[in-house]
Structure 1
């Protein structure tokens, strides 16, 4: 009987593992830890291939966690330690109250918020599976903590290679609770957007100061993702997947690439969030999957009707209730280094904390409660472990419906049979359209606000959900196709324009509304490749054309508007700025005329175009010649008429802004946006870029760093003989500026070069950069 390729892969891994941890270690392998009588049977092996990508081989989940924790610490101990410091509510103790986190929240507000969560994760850990973690998930976390702590003990804080935290008093060993807090933080979206809202929700007349939002932070803007799942009709056979998450390049939301293998049980490769011992976007030998941020609202507000004269009393169905006052104390370091306690009282009801949201503030009459459907979600690790074991997209669907652990993301997957799958099965509050019609009291277009004075306006429940208060999987749309599905952070409606999804609850997103420029470009890129009109060769996707499509760096707004804009400035070489001053646009016109219209690193004119589109957006100028048509949503609006009022002013203002900043109008894109000195391609999604890059460059600056954008790019073909994958981790494996893996992949990214993924034991063994380390247990 012919042996299955997957069976051969498992068997090969088992043989390699037995050799490596059983004593047959080739010269050059570094052993660590103290050997004992059982180490040959219970060890963990870390193989690193090119660009420092670790392939962890172990006999069980604890061993996998051990290897993942050790490797992560080698590359990013300071980053993990800093994240843990935040979750432990100790930033003010070490860095003072007024400094800000990478997300732009003051240390004091961050600490008060995280301190208010004390006991939350502990209660969730006490729940039985599946509401609480499985034994496998707990073992992974336990091993991760041991691996991290082993590296720290071997290296010592004073001996850390990363100057970011070398010798720092705030670096300490991890606990398992630290990592579970990390999991919960991820499930709740980091909560950086609600920390100020919760901490500063105070009764009327309170003297507690409010904080300004501060500079635009790493968590703001166009965080999201693109994803394609391609079926056999689009590829000619095997399923393919493109993963393109857009996340911050700094801080706790960085991704880390690795492979996790337990012979005969688990073999998954991809990337996971730093500080979590699991693959969140990846593939095995049969299935590949990724996620995109969904439009579903996972939080709602409830407007309380307060008892007259009592700001802490509220009424539900005519019956009085009292808010719970929660004193929270954190330690703050003063300017002279002295430590002092700071106490703030926060408020909550059984549904969640009191919060403010813009004009929705605590008054004499009303207050607002924030309810988060992910507040009880520790299922993330188990969710991804289940997906990693899937053999078909049907198995992915079954894993999603069984655990409902995906916090706020769409899932797209493809398999080796050539099936493509899109799913909105995630954590969604049980807020039906009927409930909204009866109970919504919020402003149009704002967050969902329900009437908290009526018990019948609380979340409902569906039978069979993992925890109460969620929409059941049967209400959440999915789509399986033989051609393609995609998502670029829009609602489910156009996952495939040939089969629009409708009839889902409004809390998931809209139907029949205008799509973003990035979505329209993404759909256009698929259509052009399927019919072969993109110039990349015969119709249909191959792995090579999928890669080329991803890094083609098309800019939809330029494709539609550059020619008309050049005609404008050629006919009118002097334009009037918004302040009435004349602006010579001849050099700018020449730059736009000579520009390719692509957001490549050497593109001259792309920076000017981005500034121009920003001015158009800010001034609400719509120059489209064909308006949005719900009957043709993938191609409308389109066109560009540069003679529309306001277009000339926007161009003049853009030229003036670059001149004031000392930026030539024909500056190369890669000279204006860089990461650690390395040029970076791409542009904002709102400009019509698929390969998204957002910088922290202010109008008066010539060069900006990368705030967020394309991070872990993965193209996978799932052939009958096994997966073929190409990847780029755009900022490299390590945040340590002294590491060889700090910007090595950034340079690849600038040159449009990819890493050939090593998945099988034979592929790993052939890598010329291979190093091997054994960790005894």
Structure 2
């Protein structure tokens, strides 16, 4: 349709520009190695092995690993390519993947007990095993996995089938005694099992829901009608079927929802004490997101440059895995994907490079239901009774004595989506006799996402990529930044799957409770589900019913730069603000956080650095090397702006009295007296950059995280100015008593954590690999660091920091182009493998810590020339076995 496929194979060696064409010499080499290439499972190393290309047909898969264990997988068809990718991911991350497949099947309680939790964080948050199991079994209950599979084109289905078979191939080798000493955390586990294509579709569906239903696992799994609390009980019969819906009153007489009488007094002063907006971010906390920049010809003087840097998990099933996937003539793409995903999600080919950042657009909405007077499982729409659909599920649960029991719950769905219990936000938002709440996730039926990623990797031009993005409108919860070879413009878009809720509809249909919720969750549609006119709009131009048309969403092409640091679409480029979009797209004109301000300032300076006209100096074009340098600097904008005035004011006092910690809310009785001299001396000597050996960064961060809790009106001398968004709010009111108290509380917090006031960044932020700390640099994005690395656990001296509690910079890429195609440098901060016995468990982390960007091999000769080359050849099963039918979904 719009796709122009990029599959060109270059023959550049190094950067000399000398070309080696695939001529007689290469053909002779292939002929000499033909016998070797047919051997399944053989491994070799060295450039000659790397040149052993496969033919474009047949059942052979070639996996060539280069520096840091990056696999370059080449096959002759889609199923074989998936086979190689599934095998490679399993060989590096078997235990993480196997546990994830248990999660997606809803079987955690069977193996790990009801009250345990997953070993690592993910986009699901941290629900109990039992709640997680009910959530995923409900997701599977209505044929959703079959629909997901059936909606895919044949090549994608082949890719998925092959991926599952490749995973199973590796597992079979392990059972036969292969890879001794590897994967000890799960090698003998009863939950280590073969998978089918259904397991991969479940995994894809879990990623679909990361911006919506996945943030409500507990609220969905525990929703029950009043007087029907379902504690852990043995299996019970499903309830009897509900009566056929029948009219109760004319639609025209249906009034707008008002608060229930017992809740009316709570509505105006609804505290929503249990609602933490950060928990509804993708990933469950602030800091999951990304930095992305794209520089056009006006900045570079030639080919564009793309910088991509997701801030993401360092462990668990959603962490990134780096690879190159190739089918000669059909696909040649390099980049990264989540574990268990068979396509590249962020990456490049010889014609385009792209990245994503988490979007501020809302991907879910709540409908407040008016219930029938005589039945809390029936709701009214324009006076018409509609029965909720009861779904009774039983989850096998491992008991303390090792036996299996069962827990049964009946969950309910509506035409909007599952019923949710929001009483954890406030008792006024619970399921009562008069009201209930249903959640609608716009990505529940978005089966286009991963096919779109596959098409991105096949795009042969910037125009083809953009056409794919607009035509599919599939991006689930991310912005997109993309550059094209030989193209002067670079492109930003928040074009994806977003609820079609214009502001006029929201104004007309938001309930009184919804208006209160909007103060904490601006832009989330919280609509009157008792009126049909309040349903999400169904624009004929949209790809999916209830979604916004692509043409109505923000997009911007520029010749200088576009950038996004998880701020809204408004300032993709401050010189060309984007405005006029509905609130569901994100709050446009609003203060930026410090990371976004710093990122946009860096991008603007890089795209148009100051020349020295008095010396007649011309502006030097931006280079990829310069981008690689400044994007890893450890500075924080908070210290650059506020350190000096804070120290000038606060350090004039030798002692500070601390009555309360602004961060934790803890009170000190009696108040604590804190000496300031040492802290002031350390911070005056600190240059404001959080390098690994920096003394003062940790202390400053403990202060700033507390200062940010002070009301902005008291903290800043100059409020936010929409006309100057990169520099306001500004001017800290350092003389405020609350600032001094935050400073004193920070000093106390450092001591209580067991650290010296002058502890280095590397002593307080590191990753333990092979029993050895790898010191890191940068800091939490919420504290104004562009180079984002954050420890989300409790910080204590002498307590090892694992990948399970670290997140931030993950897969980083800087991609430019030359006469031969893509020229890419990458880092994978957490390394390729989860297995401590793997040689690729720590090498990427050490490379990241040292800021040693890897020029990733992409063309044939670069791969063959890699000094760390290792080659594995796999032969797929014979054709009759390969044509196995799709698995039956439970």
Range moving further from structure 2, 401-410 or 288-297: 401-410
- Of 499, 522, 526, 2:599 maps to 522
Q: State whether residues 52 and 733 of structure 1, in contact with CA within 8 Å, keep that contact through their aligned partners in structure 2.
A: yes
- Which of residues 150, 162, 166 in structure 1 aligns to 2:187? 166
Residues 233 and 307 of structure 1: CA distance in aligned 2, closer, same or farther (over 3 Å): same
Q: What is the alpha-carbon distance in structure 2 between the residues aligned to residue 453 and residue 407 of structure 1?
A: 28
Q: 1:570 to 1:637 in 2, by over 3 A?
A: same
Contact 2:7/2:331, CA 8 A, preserved across alignment: no
Indicate which of 177, 181, 200 corresponds to 1:179.
200
Q: Would the aligned equivalents of 1:79 and 1:252 in 2 still touch at CA under 8 Å?
A: yes
Alignment of 1:494-643 (within 5 A): 494-532=571-609, 539-578=620-659, 579=668, 580-620=671-711, 622-643=714-735
CA contact (8 A) 2:788 2:808 kept: yes
User: Which residue number in structure 2 is paired with residue 414 of structure 1?
Assistant: 483
Structure 1 residues 322 and 12: alpha-carbon distance in aligned structure 2, compared to 1, 3 A threshold: farther
Aligned to 2:813: 714
The question of whether the paired residues in 2 share the 8 Å contact of 1:682 and 1:691 is answered with yes
SS state at 1:450 partner: strand
Task: Determine the structure 2 residue equivalent to 1:301.
Answer: 366
Q: Are 1:82 and 2:99 counterparts?
A: yes
Distance 1:231 1:52 in 2: 32
Give CA-to-partner distance per residue, 1:449-473, whole Å, 9 cap, x none: 1100001111111224332221111
Alpha-carbon separation, structure 1, partners of 2:674 and 2:647:
15
Q: In terms of Rg, which structure is larger?
A: 2
Alpha-carbon separation, structure 2, partners of 1:643 and 1:402: 55
Moved more, 350-359 or 50-59: 350-359
Q: Structure 2 matches for 1:670-685, cutoff 5 A? A: 670-676=762-768, 677-685=773-781
Query: Which residue of the partner structure matches residue 398 of structure 2?
Result: 333
Secondary structure of the corresponding residue to residue 189 of structure 1:
helix
Matched, 1:437 2:479: no
Q: How many residues align?
A: 766
CA shift for structure 1 position 726: 0.9
**Structure 2, unaligned runs of 5 or more:** 12-19, 44-54, 233-273, 613-617, 660-667, 877-890
Q: Is the 8 A contact 2:200 2:341 kept in 1?
A: yes
Partner residue of 2:379? 314
- Point out where structure 1 has 5 or more consecutive residues left out of the alignment: none
Cα distance per residue 1:337-370 (max 9 Å; x no partner): 1101110110111221001232222122210000
Show the counterpart of 2:447.
378
Q: Deviations over 1:244-274 (max 9, x none)?
A: 1011112111100000111122111000111
Q: CA deviation at 1:775?
A: 1.1
State the SS of the aligned residue for 1:726.
strand
1:439 positional shift: 0.7
Q: Which SS does the other structure have where 1:45 is aligned?
A: strand
Matched residues in 2 for 1:222 and 1:766: separation?
Answer: 39
| Deviation by residue 1:525-571 (Cα, 9 ceiling, x = unmatched) | 11222343599x96442111101111012200000111122223432
Q: Kindly indicate whether residue 49 of structure 2 is the aligned counterpart of residue 49 of structure 1.
A: no
- Shift in Å at residue 209 of structure 1? 5.9
Is it true that 1:9 corresponds to 2:4 in the alignment? no
> Which secondary structure state, in structure 2, belongs to the residue aligned with residue 205 of structure 1?
coil
Q: 2:471 maps to what in 1?
A: 402
Q: Residues 631-680 of structure 1: CA distance to partner in whole angstroms, max 9, x if unpaired? A: 11122112334222311100100001111221111111111122122122
Q: Counterparts of 2:9 and 2:835 in 1: how far apart (Å)?
A: 38
Deviations 1:165-221 (A, max 9, x none): 1111100111000001111111111744211010111112343469x9999997433
Shift of 1:697: 3.5
Label 1:26 to 1:709 Cα distance change in 2 as closer, same or farther (>3 A).
farther
Counterparts of 1:495 and 1:303, CA distance in 2: 35
Query: Partners of 1:175 and 1:434 in 2: how far apart?
Result: 46
Report deviation, 1:111. 0.4
Match status 1:665 vs 2:687 = no
Q: Deviations over 1:596-655 (max 9, x none)?
A: 211221111111111101111234465333321011112211233422231110010000
Deviations 1:507-531 (A, max 9, x none): 1012221111111000011122234
| Aligned position for 1:493 | 570
Report the equivalent of 1:363.
432
* Structure 1 residue 302 displacement after superposition: 0.5
Q: TM-score, normalised by structure 1?
A: 0.93
Q: Report the 3-state secondary structure (helix = DSSP H, G, I; strand = E; otherwise coil) of the residue aligned with 2:651.
A: helix
TM-score norm. by structure 2 comes to 0.82
TM-superposed CA distance for 1:234, in Å, is 1.3
What SS does the aligned partner of 1:24 have? helix
